[in-house]
Amino acid sequence: MTEPEASWLNLGPGRFRLLRWPGAEDRPVLFLHGLTAVADVWGPTIEALGGERPDCFAFDQRGHGQSHP
């Protein structure tokens, strides 16, 4: 499985971990995790899309994973 690129998104008082799985298409897709999950949960789903997938992004929502509360 390809490891996503990790970066940080600073919005107001919050800091969010953002993951990007690079793709071949121009239109990006944002994946949002559920109440008890983290951004990494989308890795297997995004990998299953194959090589012609769009750029895919997911972030740890406030208070989840590595994002700040």
Q: Where are the domains of the chain?
A: 5-59
> What pLDDT digit, counting tens, does each position of 10-59 carry?
998 889 999 999 998 889 999 999 989 999 999 999 999 988 899 999 99
pLDDT at residue 66 greater than cutoff 90: no
Distance CA 15, CA 45 (A): 25
Distance CA 18, CA 61 (A): 9
Residue partners of 58: CB distance under 8 A and separation at least 6: 4, 18, 19, 30, 31, 32, 33, 39, 40, 41, 42, 46
